[in-house]
Amino acid sequence: MIDPSAASVVPTTDPSTYLPAQPITGDLTDQMLETDFWTDDLVASAGIPIVDVPFVTVGGGIGSFVTVDYLRIAGVPTSQMRVLSTLDFPWQTYEYLTRVSQVPRPERIRSDSASRPDNIWGFPSYGFAEGVKKFNPKVLWQLFSEPIFADYYTPKAGNVFEQLERESKRINYDEMLVKGLVRIVRRRYGGGYFTILTPPAGASATKRVAFRSQYVHLAVGYPGLKFLPELQRYRTENNDYQHIVNAYEAHEHVYERLVQKPSTVLVRGGGIVASRILQRLMDDREKFGAQTNIVHLFRTYITGTNDGYGNESDPRPGGGRTRVTMRRRGGNGWAYQGFNYPKSVWGGQLKAQVRNLEGEERAELYKRMGGTNTPWRKLWQKQMNQGRREGWYNCVVGTVDAMEPSGDRIVNHVRTAHGVVPIEVDFVIDCTGLEADIAEHRLLKDLLEHGGASRNPVGRLNVDRSFELIGTGSGNGAMYASGATTLGGYFPGVDTFLGLQVAAQEIYLDLNKRGFCKKIGPVRSTVQWWKWLAGSTP
Amino acid sequence: MLPTLNGRIQTRIFMLVVFGGLITLVLTPMLPGDPDYRTTYLILAAVLVLGIVWELVYHVIQQFRWEKDWPTMFGLITALNEGALVWLLLDLELVPGIDYPSDGVPFWAFFIDFTVIWLVVWIWTNGPMRVPFIRWRFFGGRIV
Ligand SMILES: Cc1cc2nc3c(=O)[nH]c(=O)nc-3n(C[C@H](O)[C@H](O)[C@H](O)COP(=O)(O)OP(=O)(O)OC[C@H]3O[C@@H](n4cnc5c(N)ncnc54)[C@H](O)[C@@H]3O)c2cc1C
């Protein structure tokens, strides 16, 4: 459900299904909310039932899935773990976000062939399986020659979901899933944690249920995806939710209108989501004869080689131009990069380098290799070139000062290098992917205030090299976090399938040292891989 | 591949010792020109020693790549420069320890052994290696 006036564009669970109208027993008390360490008695006296389980993971998205997948392979039975989530299946949020941002099941996602959240080994890779199963020499050639002579191979969304479904059945994921919204996690007096869950109405006799566990893992995804503030203001002030949309909310109606009526669309942003939206707009021109004019607004226009600080001659600390060993291709506004970080952050040089950096130095390297970017893809280049030639795709560089309605249309006053220019359009599609601060997530805010958690050099949750949340230790218990909330740590590629698996591996290893699971050595690993291949439970 | 320098060298040694060693053991008696084990293993050792030097060169080249990756294709085509150099040294009788026959080391023996090892190692590195060693791909190809 999307609350149209909400600042977040990700559908949130309807709170009314979680907060019963009539007061019932077993709720959090003021005393509990004020206490950083809870005793068993404190929880029991509030009338909240306590469930004992050694390990809980909060979120139930891809991050939770790959973590329990690792632990299942490391020999942990389903009875020892619970996944606390509002989702019915792990790829639900991901599928929603990709579908609305124009990656339906038949389209290809962004990550590479060996980023397989359903397979901890990444072998066989998606591409290899696709090439061999249906004997497709084109795919095999692409895998061999990428990225030199071909675009990077990336799997189809639908295939990723089908494989996730298979793995989820194999590890009996559903036996571990408990539905509900996690309200709070607090340390337990005497070690471990209490995780307070609000189950859906009718699922429990009490309003809350407490999970008492030695280990907690948090994979809550994005704390929130936001609109640009000026767009949000325009929407609320003019009560217009039709003409201004975010790429992460359902906006099919825009494309339907464009096919019926020649219109102008302003696309904002220079990342992969902008690329996808442009592809859809251009595909519709080609397939359905839409007469869409596209104005593409870049805040930073990349003209050639670049790094996270911008173009060659843009200012950067220490002065100078981009380093010869640290420069990325770019042009026509875009910075080109296969994946959301340089590939070696997932296993090579950059991963090793960042792992050894602290504070300022780490933040600097993040900045240098960061910046908005998108892959260079043959199809996209062809479409944009055609648009430029035929005059229906135009770029503007600047920021929006103000927006005002003009009949059915919207005038954007864009501040450019040549002064403020009015740009009148029928629709605005926001592809900037602005992420909310972690403190906007209630659970995380509470951890910062009462749980001992802190922020890293880029402002997200501070985790150590094994993804344990620094400062949250509780006796013999440990709390871990992975995904977008931990960006800025010793490992940069956190918010991706492979990044979530890298984190899961570190977490599994730490839990192994603490005696919770078996070690996945060469023999166990090989045996387990054969089981994966055969589809039998780990 | 996403190697670090340390990982490159470790993977190189591991692959040539394990696969190079086994394949040479099996192939030597079948190779044309009847080379003896001493010759084939000394050639393998030469490939290994030179290979470590090559890895340094590749590492430098890799620095000029934004992604700091080593494309799959590079792993195969570097057989050409590496093979050519080893053959040149064999032809000039510069690889120490070998009793060079009067008509030189048989080319096809070298070619077959080298190619088979290279192909097997390349395939293994690009997939199956990840099965027994789950940390290998996330640590730049390091084994220890
Ligand atoms: C459009 C888009 C495309 C992407 N494409 C790729 C790609 O091609 N390849 C790639 O590797 N990565 C990609 N990513 C990045 C990333 O891999 C995915 O976003 C992935 O789903 C992240 O997994 P996660 O577990 O961190 O979060 P999610 O999968 O979002 O799961 C977290 C879940 O936690 C739930 N939650 C939050 N708070 C609570 C609470 N208090 N109680 C209970 N549940 C809660 C949320 O409802 C959410 O569903 C993409 C991201 C986006 C937005």
Residue range A196-252, pLDDT digits in tens = 999 998 888 889 999 999 999 999 999 887 888 889 899 999 999 899 999 999 999
Q: Whose CA is nearest to atom 35 of ligand 1?
A: A59
What is the whole-number distance in angstroms between the Cα of residue B47 and the centre of ligand 1?
A: 47
CATH number of A36-104+172-223+437-534: 3.50.50.60
Strands A409-416 and A419-425 turn out to be: antiparallel
Q: Whose CA is nearest to atom 40 of ligand 1?
A: A182
Q: Which CATH architecture has domain A225-300+374-435?
A: 3-Layer(bba) Sandwich (3.50)
Closest-approach residue (CA) in chain A for B7: A348
Residue A302, chain B, CB below 8 Å: the answer is: no
Residue B133, chain A, CB below 8 Å: the answer is: yes
Quote the CA–CA distance of A25 and A397 in Å, as a whole number.
Answer: 57
Q: pLDDT digit string (tens) for B80-95?
A: 999 999 999 999 999 9
Site from B4, B55, B67 to mutate, A interface, most A CB atoms within 10 angstroms: B67
Closest alpha carbon to A155 in A144, A145, A163: A163
Predicted confidence at residue A208, as pLDDT, reads 94
Confidence grade of residue A2 (pLDDT, cut at 50, 70, 90) = very low
The residue among A453 and A203 whose pLDDT is bigger is A453
Confidence grade of residue A6 (pLDDT, cut at 50, 70, 90) = low
Confidence check: pLDDT of A530 > 70:
yes
Residue ranges, comma separated, of all CATH 3.50.50.60 domains in chain A are 36-104+172-223+437-534, 225-300+374-435
CB contact under 8 A, A525 and B3: no
Residue A146, chain B, CB below 8 Å: the answer is: yes
The residue among B78 and B104 whose pLDDT is bigger is B78
For chain B, report the end-to-end CA distance as a whole number of angstroms. Answer: 17
Confidence check: pLDDT of B6 > 50:
yes
Nearest CB to B127: which of A128, A327, A520? A128
Residue A523 · residue A493 · CB < 8 Å:
no
Predicted confidence at residue A223, as pLDDT, reads 87
Percent of chain A with pLDDT over 90: 90
Q: pLDDT digit string (tens) for A273-314?
A: 999 999 999 999 999 999 999 999 999 999 999 999 999 999
What is the whole-number distance in angstroms between the Cα of residue A350 and the centre of ligand 1?
A: 24
Which of A495, A501, A507 maximizes ligand 1 atoms within 8 Å of its Cβ, making it the mutation to test the pocket? A495
Confidence check: pLDDT of A429 > 50:
yes
The sign of the torsion formed by the CA atoms of A498, A502, A505, A510 equals negative
Confidence check: pLDDT of A10 > 70:
no
Percent of chain B with pLDDT over 90: 95
Confidence grade of residue A435 (pLDDT, cut at 50, 70, 90) = confident
Predicted confidence at residue A319, as pLDDT, reads 85
Predicted confidence at residue A204, as pLDDT, reads 84
Predicted confidence at residue A14, as pLDDT, reads 56
Count the helix, strand and coil residues of chain A and give each as a percent rounded to the nearest 5.
35, 20, 45
Mean predicted confidence (pLDDT) in A117-122: 98
Give helix A252-260 / helix A272-288 axis angle, nearest 10°: 30
Residue A312, chain B, CB below 8 Å: the answer is: no
What is the whole-number distance in angstroms between the Cα of residue A1 and the centre of ligand 1?
A: 17
Mean predicted confidence (pLDDT) in A508-533: 98
Residue B89, chain A, CB below 8 Å: the answer is: no
User: In B, which residues are within 8 Å of A532 by CB distance?
Assistant: none
Predicted confidence at residue A448, as pLDDT, reads 97
Mean predicted confidence (pLDDT) in A430-454: 94
* Mean of all residue pLDDT scores within chain A: 93
Quote the CA–CA distance of B55 and B61 in Å, as a whole number.
Answer: 10
CB contact under 8 A, B66 and A342: yes
Q: pLDDT digit string (tens) for A362-415?
A: 999 999 999 999 999 999 999 999 999 999 999 999 999 999 999 999 999 999
Q: Whose CA is nearest to atom 9 of ligand 1?
A: A111
* Mean of all residue pLDDT scores within chain B: 96
The residue among A6 and A330 whose pLDDT is bigger is A330
Which atom of ligand 1 is least distant from the CA of A101?
1
Confidence check: pLDDT of A5 > 80:
no
User: In B, which residues are within 8 Å of A348 by CB distance?
Assistant: 1-4, 7, 68-70, 140
Go through B27-38 and write b for each residue having 16 or more CB atoms within 10 A of its CB, e for each that does not.
Answer: bbeebeeebeee
Ligand 1 binding pocket (C-beta < 6 A) is A 58-64, 84-87, 93-94, 97-98, 101, 109-111, 115, 181-182, 219-221, 443, 483-484, 495-497, 500
Confidence check: pLDDT of A339 > 80:
yes
Mean predicted confidence (pLDDT) in A33-47: 95
Quote the CA–CA distance of A533 and B9 in Å, as a whole number.
Answer: 31
Mean predicted confidence (pLDDT) in A66-79: 98
Predicted confidence at residue B102, as pLDDT, reads 87
Quote the CA–CA distance of A223 and A249 in Å, as a whole number.
Answer: 16
pTM of the full structure = 0.95
Predicted confidence at residue A197, as pLDDT, reads 96
Largest Cα span, chain B: 49
Quote the CA–CA distance of A28 and A88 in Å, as a whole number.
Answer: 26
Q: What is the ipTM of this complex?
A: 0.95
The residue among B115 and A11 whose pLDDT is bigger is B115
CB contact under 8 A, B138 and A346: yes
What is the whole-number distance in angstroms between the Cα of residue A505 and the centre of ligand 1?
A: 18
Residue B69 · residue B1 · CB < 8 Å:
yes
Q: pLDDT digit string (tens) for B25-70?
A: 999 999 999 999 999 999 999 999 999 999 999 999 999 999 999 9
Complete DSSP assignment for A91-137: THHHHHHHHHTT--TTSB-SS-TT--TT-TT--S-HHHHHHHHTT-H
Confidence grade of residue A26 (pLDDT, cut at 50, 70, 90) = confident
Predicted confidence at residue A363, as pLDDT, reads 93
Count the helix, strand and coil residues of chain B and give each as a percent rounded to the nearest 5.
65, 0, 35
Complete DSSP assignment for A373-439: -B---HHHHHHHHHHHHHT-EEEEESEEEEEEEETTEEEEEEEETTEEEEEEESEEEE---EEPPGG
Residue A148, chain B, CB below 8 Å: the answer is: yes
SS3 A303: coil
Task: Please state whether B141 falls in left (phi above 0), alpha (psi between -120 and 50) or beta.
Answer: left
Element (H, E) at A367: helix A359-369
What is the whole-number distance in angstroms between the Cα of residue A163 and the centre of ligand 1?
A: 17
The phi, psi pair for B67, rounded to 5°, reads -75, -15
